Each structure stands twice: as structure tokens, then as C-alpha cells.
Amino acid sequence: MPLSQQRIRDSPRDVKPGRFPFDAPRHVQLKYALQFAVLAPSTHNSQPWLFRVTDASVFLYADRSRGLPAIDPEDRCMLMSCCAALQNLTFALMALGFSYRVSRFPDLSDPDLLARIDVDARSGRDIDTSALEYLLARRTVAPHEAVLPPPVGTVASVQHEMERKGATMSLISPEDMRIVLQIVEENREDVRLLAKEEAMWRHPNRVRSRDGIPGGMQLNASSFFAESEGAVFGVLVTHGDRMLSWFQGGIALESGLIAATRENLVVSLASRPLHLGHVRIKLGKALSLQGTPQIFLRMAESSGASGAPTPRRSIVDVMIHPGFTG
């Protein structure tokens, strides 16, 4: 099969948890694990990550060519998305029986290199396929799909998991929601630029697209907070608002999303209007948060009838050569 056709057809969402290549070289096994890493969420489904793989390590890079200057002028969401992928990778490595060590920003002369994951040999031959299934099942959904009230205690489980990873999730009351929407209305000066950028990443009716926003998904704040009777809203809060905080926030976010999947919750995410630093400061003060708000979450019980998952680029397209040798 020609390589171009293979790239189009092969999707990480098609990975089979029971088909781990036990007897393959280590770099092949690590590329298998990467298929779970790239299932992480990203703004506009831009998938702004790159990986280099050796027999002993995986290197995670930010792909600045996929930056979003309007909605993510500081590359804040890019870094959080990459670290969500890092959380997926380490989660998958544990499920596959690997031990590992993560070094954050291992080379200060290369700001795109976000982490090095040194991987040791596997112990035993058993793998936790159920954990890998959580990664495959975990996905964000459109706001209108998240309307059923979550069972008591499930949201607290998500909060606990985020706290365990170094961030918090504060719940938003109806009174808080009015504050949020008011601040949204007060900061609409860049709405045309945001709409133009969003349009560039919207890919309706493109069968071969492996990134971008599927057609029909509404991303504005009014649709995100609309029909809110059944859903529970929260905001991810980090202790600071710099690269280390965004790094930890991305890990905590994805860890909480995996926990939500275990609890049969579906989640939709919104980074607007938090794309501007002064708005994050204003919202943090208005909501009396103990930290900086980074992303909104809308949580509800899964109805089992949600739409198709967002597409994903093939692994060959997110590898830095010559790291990809398969």
C-alpha cells in the first residue's frame, strides 16, 4: 500500500488494546503506546504535538506550526494539550507494564522540547486492557450532548483526580455562570479574529481530514453554557499562570477526563474566554478562585448516544524523523 494511502486510512482510534507487539523491538512498542497519547484533546483539534522515539526514550515536542495566535496567543493551550498527551502516554505505559521517568523541559536551549520520558524494560507479559479501553472511550463531546445530570459523587471523583495531579476544579454555580457570561460580553473585541481562525480549522465533509473541527460543532460561549439544567460546570484552576503551571494543568486535565470516563461521564471543554491573560485574572477575582482559571468543563452523564469522535492524525504524521523507523 502506498504510504500516502496508509496515512489516510490508519487512525490511532483504531488501535486494539489486545494487540500489543510483545516480541517487537522497544521503539516499536513505544510507538504502539503513542497511539493512545495522541487521543488527547486540543483546541480546534489542532493536535499540536510531535514525538521522537528511541529504544530507551520518548521525546515530546510542541509543534509551533500548529499554533493558534488568536485563541492561544501565549501557546498556553498548546502546552496544556501536549501535556494532556503526555498524561495519556504515561497512563498507557503503566497499563502496558513499563516503568518510566519524566523529565520536564530537559533542554532549556530547546523551548519546543517539553519532556523526555525514559522507559525501562517491561516486567511480565500482562497488560491492563481495561485501562487502555478508557483512553479509547475518553473523548470530549459537543455541549448539546452533555445535558443529563451526573450521579452524586462522580464529579467529586473527577475533582479528586485533578487535585492528585496538582490542579483543582472549582464548580460554577448559576450565579457564577452569570458572572462568566457578563465578562464574556465585556471582552468581545477580538470576536472577528477568533471566528476567522476557527473557520480555518473547521473541516466539514472532508472525509480524509485527520484534524480540525468537525462540521456542525458550535464553539461559542453561549452554546457552551446553554441548556444547562442537567449539566454540571467547572473550571480547571492552576496555582500560577506560567509554563510550569500550564504543564501541570494539562496533566491534571487529562487525568480528570480519564476519571470522568470511568464514572460514565461525558465532558465538553471551552478555552474561551480564557485565551487572554487579563480576562483570566478578572475571572479569577470575580469567582474568588484560589489560582488562575484555565479551561471550562461541562460534565454530564453519558447517554450512550453521543456523536462520532474527533479525527486523529496518523502516528507517522506526528513523528520527528529519523525517530520514526517503522
- 129 plus 226 within the same structural domain: no
Residue 15 lies in a domain: yes
Residues 167 and 263 in one domain: yes
- Above 60 in pLDDT, residue 279? yes
Average pLDDT of the chain to the nearest whole number: 87
Local structure of 106: helix, strand or coil: coil
- Helix residue ranges per DSSP H, the chain: 3-9, 26-37, 76-95, 129-137, 154-164, 174-186, 191-201, 221-225, 243-262, 277-286
Beta-carbon-side half-sphere exposure of residue 127 (alpha carbons within 13 Å): 18
CATH value at residue 68: 3.40.109
Strand, helix or coil for residue 58: strand
Q: How many domains does the chain have?
A: 2
Confidence of residue 221 (pLDDT cuts 50, 70, 90): low
pLDDT value of position 77? 97
Same domain as 197, residue 258: yes
By residue range, what is the domain housing residue 235? Answer: 143-301
Cell matching residue 244:
510550569
Q: 182-196, 252-266, 307-321 — which is least confidently predicted?
A: 182-196
Same domain flag for 260 and 185: yes
Query: What is the arithmetic mean of pLDDT over 159-169?
Result: 97
Instruction: Confirm whether 39 is domain-assigned.
Output: yes
Q: Does 276 lie in the same domain as 202? A: yes
89 within domain boundaries: yes
Is 238 found in the same domain as 194?
yes
- In a domain? residue 252: yes
Question: Mean pLDDT: which of 81-90, 176-185, 186-195 is highest?
Answer: 81-90
266 lies in the same domain as 134: no
* pTM of the predicted model as reported, rounded to 2 decimal places: 0.91
